[in-house]
Amino acid sequence: MTKKNGRILAIDDNADILFALKLLLKPHVEFIHTETDPNKIPGILSKDYFDVILLDMNFTKDAISGQEGFSWLEKILELDPSAVVLFITAYGDVEKSVKAIKAGATDFILKPWQNEKLLATISSAIKLRQSRNEVDDLKSKQKAMNTIMDQPFADFIGVSPGMIKVFETIKKVAQTDANVLILGENGTGKELVARALHRNSLRKDETFVSVDLGALSETLFESELFGHAKGAFTDAKADRPGRFELASGGTIFLDEIGNLSLPLQAKLLTVLERREVTRVGTNKPRPIDIRLISATNMQIKQMAGEDKFRQDLLYRLNTVEIELPPLRERPEDIPILADHFLKMFSKKYKKRYNKLSSAIIKKLTSYPWPGNVREFQHILERTVIMSDGPTLNETDFQLTSQPIATDGLELDTYNLEEVERKIIEKVLRANRGNVSKAAADLGLTRTSLYRRLEKYGL
């Protein structure tokens, strides 16, 4: 240990042992507290925090069997389930070592100890405690996020037949580990579906990792998803786990999966088949345990029929399919969504708008919403921010994003890529080259639009 790190509690009825431990550890750890009476353990742990606890296995009441040490180990783990406990004893053997580990101890140290070995063991134990703390913090944050989302599907609401079908499918599928493919236009709420599936699953207390594949370049794909070793490439200055490893035990959501090239599809398929990843720069496979949810706004089945998407990968992805209807096909949901977002943004921006008039609702319902619920939410937020009067009027709602007209757009092909290229060209011209506005009209992120511009050479 080159840097002082960790807080240590040592309990042993031999004061000489404790003195030797303190003398050895003081130059290497932040703090060490020693105690000869194990009965004081509960009081000490209630008042202070320790990374590692060194616990004598045999006290004066029972100097050989180690049973007293096991009893105190059980008590310590009741008080702190994440505690890292190292047993110390002069009567160690293989049988007791195995029993100690099974009982929840992290390691086993024999007296007399070798100084270097003891320091190395404690250093590893401190790192283990820090890792456990990080995992506990992550789980706490995940639970807190789940608590905040107190509605069954949070912002994902509706009463239309299409949405009721979606909700019913989520309830049926959520508590399984079946792979789910979510289909729908941009802005329909595909990530909200993925999060609802995770929140209602048996993995809800584990991590949810979202990956926008449309924002990943070909060169970063493997490093981001599978991880890399130190020195694997120029900027790899340390070992780094990929998104699959981070999601292990929980759920990984792969958005815009239709954008993957065929070579990357092959690499993803291999990981899904083997349930293991190999970090870039290593040959060592690492097992993963993930629930996979994918999404795309593209006609992925048609792409598979045209050999633009691997059929075998599609079979892996779509054990269950959930298709989200566009907002224009669920007009009965617009009053509910309007009420929901109006309350949300009125509270956020400290304004008192409680209800929209029937004329406003009619205006919102008649608009085709090319950007779907995402556009609807942005319009409601902007209106609340910009309005000054005591009530909201029709003129407060500036529906500037116009639906894409076919005027001047000649479709002489049914090739989806060619149609997409022509639409992007038209929207860019309409917005005079402003990529941000064009992306908003198309219901895309700026990054996703830039990728398409690069793809089509625009």
Nearest-angstrom CA–CA distance, 156 and 173: 17
Other beta carbons within 10 Å of 244:
26
Give me the pLDDT at residue 68, please.
79
Q: In Å, how far are 308, 347, 348, 408 from 343, measured between CA atoms?
A: 44, 6, 9, 41
**Can you name the CATH fold of 416-456?**
Arc Repressor Mutant, subunit A (1.10.10)
Query: pTM of the prediction?
Result: 0.59
Largest CA-CA distance found in the chain, in angstroms, rounded: 94
Closest C-alpha among 366, 176, 391 to residue 383? 391
**CATH fold group of domain 151-323:** Rossmann fold (3.40.50)
Pick the CATH number of 328-396 from 1.10.8.60, 3.30.70.920, 2.60.40.420, 1.10.10.1100: 1.10.8.60
pLDDT (tens digit, 9 = 90+) per residue, 342-351?
999 999 898 8
For the domain bounded by 7-137, which CATH number is listed? 3.40.50.2300
Say if CB 330 and CB 158 are below 8 A apart: yes
Q: Is the pLDDT of residue 404 over 50?
A: no
What confidence score (pLDDT) does residue 63 get? 54
pLDDT digit string (tens) for 29-75? 989 999 999 899 999 988 888 999 998 877 765 555 667 788 888 88
Instruction: Work out the angle at residue 84's Cα, subtended by the Cα atoms of residues 80 and 90, and round it to the nearest 5 degrees.
Output: 120
Render pLDDT for 218-242 as a digit per residue (tens, 0 to 9). 888 988 899 988 888 877 778 888 8
Closest listed residue to residue 445, CA positions, set 313, 258, 256 = 256
- Does this chain's domain 151-323 share its CATH topology with 416-456? no
106 vs 456, residue with greater confidence: 106
Instruction: Give residues with Cβ within 8 angstroms of 387, minimum separation 6.
Output: 351, 353, 396
Report the C-alpha gap between 58 and 65 in whole angstroms: 7
What's at 216, amino acid-wise? L
Asked if pLDDT for residue 453 goes beyond 70, the answer is yes
Map out the domains of the chain as residue ranges: 7-137, 151-323, 328-396, 416-456
Contact between residue 186 and residue 372 where contact means Cβ atoms under 8 Å apart: yes
